[in-house]
Structure 1
Amino acid sequence: MENHRPDGLDFDIIRQLREDGRRPAKTIALALGITEATVTSRINALSEANVMRVMAQRNVAHLKTRLFCFIRVWIRGRSAQDVATDIAAVAGAGSVMLMMGSPEIHITALVEDNDGLLALLQEHIAQVEGVARLDACVTLKAYKYRYDVVVLSSALSLGEPQGDPLDDAIIHQLQLDGRISNREIGRVLDVSASTIRERVNRMLTNRQIHIGAVCDYRKIGFEIAAMAYLQVEPARIKQALKHLMERKEIGQVSAISGSSNIYVILAARSLEDLFSMVRLTLETTPGVIESTVSLVTQSIKHRADLISLVESPD
């Protein structure tokens, strides 16, 4: 199962589950003209091979800690692996990635406000042995957020409780298995199935959560993940954002604070593919002055449970 490579039918099923992770197998079977047993067996095979996982993701807009920040870390006198592992244990440090070259570590953090960011930087990350320099920027607005391609490995983190104990408990069950029945959640939590149904429906209707299929990018044909910081002429930022949002190869586009005013995430099938993206997409961005691209070499921690519901995945 580890080497399971999804085929065309697998991707058809994944597309159905991206839209609605709790869509019944019978409904999917009717839509695709196959048997219900085939749908069930395919979903099980994709899950067992860690290609796909159906899970609940929280919409950041409904959290009290809703300030997305990107932090770049330069290190000295200690291995990047050890420094990143220590940073991953810090509350507030969400995704922690080892990067090729310098800076050696990239962090996506979620904090409540500017004071929270300052505390995270000064009182926690800066105190980790080996951290020599930090550079942080704040996400001003997320324009595109591809939330169905993630890292499904031991680096996956499901985050902390956010408020209502029962909602948190339900979401946790749905993060472990987005297709678990209301009856089974109720049995685990000792709550009626009707209460679970009402809570889940409310959270979906209010866009507090999304339940859908997420895929490990490495298992669906992508070999390289990269991040880019773009410095764009202020007067042409809107044009630049539109240009980047239209490119399917780009998974995330955010306006950020600092000298670089746009942040993007890319996934490529090869180095040649990445080179083409940089030359044909990033370097042709209207008003671009400078672009800095860094390759992800390893995920130490990855918060796949947090999303910005600004765009439905393709």
Structure 2
Amino acid sequence: MQLDATDLKILQQLQADGRISNQDLADKVFLSPSSCLRRVRMLEEGGIIHHYCAVIDAAAVGLEVDAFVQVTMRRDVEQWHENFSQALQQWPEVVGSYIITGDANYLLRVRARNLKHYSAFVLERLYKTTGVLDIRSNIVLQTLKDTQQIATSLLVATE
């Protein structure tokens, strides 16, 4: 899908406030409400806007531990990738999972109530998953930047 400068403005506004009314959005990007709504629907249907959500402050709801976990798998286990991918879908502690380059196969972002909860997750679920060879945990001490927003300056407008 080709994005123009107006599309980028719409995306920027929606990332800042996903609950903005169509009228307010149209005013901010200098479009009529009907034109604005049409563009937003095209961005949604084109897969540019994936979904809308509320961002929850994990610490405020009692999730004190934030960890990045590198997982290395044994390659001699049949269907190790499929089995691991299926297992991690059942773990609510895993809030992000990525296939990565380097020594490990996966990088997981894990949220837990406390170290006891995190330890139980690692020992009772992760280590017991067939094919897991090695786990390396990095506990977050302080978050400097954490956003899902994509800077529109990184995107190229076509005009």
Aligned partner of residue 144 in structure 2, secondary structure: strand
Matched, 1:284 2:128: yes
Q: Deviations over 1:249-291 (max 9, x none)?
A: 2112222222211111100001111111110121112111110
Query: Is the 1:222–1:269 Cα contact (8 Å) retained in structure 2?
Result: yes
CA distance in 2, matches of 1:166, 1:265: 34
Distance apart, 1:170 and its partner CA: 0.8
Kindly report which structure 2 residues correspond to 1:1-314, keeping only aligned pairs within 5 A, or say none: 163-209=3-49, 210-234=51-75, 235=77, 236-305=80-149
* Structure with greater proportional strand content: 1
Distance apart, 1:207 and its partner CA: 2.2
Query: Is the 1:245–1:253 Cα contact (8 Å) retained in structure 2?
Result: no
Q: Deviations over 1:107-140 (max 9, x none)?
A: xxxxxxxxxxxxxxxxxxxxxxxxxxxxxxxxxx
Query: Is the 1:225–1:296 Cα contact (8 Å) retained in structure 2?
Result: yes
Structure 1 segments of 4 or more deviating over 3 A?
none
Q: 1:169 to 1:202 in 2, by over 3 A?
A: same
Unaligned runs of 5+ in 2: 151-159
Q: Which amino acid aligns with 2:111?
A: A
TM-score, length of structure 2 as denominator length: 0.83
Between 1:250-259 and 1:192-201, the stretch displaced more is 250-259
- Provide the alpha-carbon RMSD of the alignment: 1.8
Distance apart, 1:237 and its partner CA: 2.5
Q: Which amino acid aligns with 1:174?
A: L
Distance apart, 1:241 and its partner CA: 2.1
Q: 1:297 to 1:163 in 2, by over 3 A?
A: farther
Unaligned runs of 5+ in 1: 1-61, 63-161, 307-314
Query: Is the 1:222–1:268 Cα contact (8 Å) retained in structure 2?
Result: yes
Q: Which amino acid aligns with 2:21?
A: S
What is the aligned-residue identity percentage? 28
Distance apart, 1:163 and its partner CA: 4.6
Q: Which amino acid aligns with 1:194?
A: S
Q: Which amino acid aligns with 1:261?
A: N
CA distance in 2, matches of 1:167, 1:222: 36
TM-score, length of structure 1 as denominator length: 0.44
CA distance in 2, matches of 1:260, 1:163: 36
Distance apart, 1:169 and its partner CA: 0.5
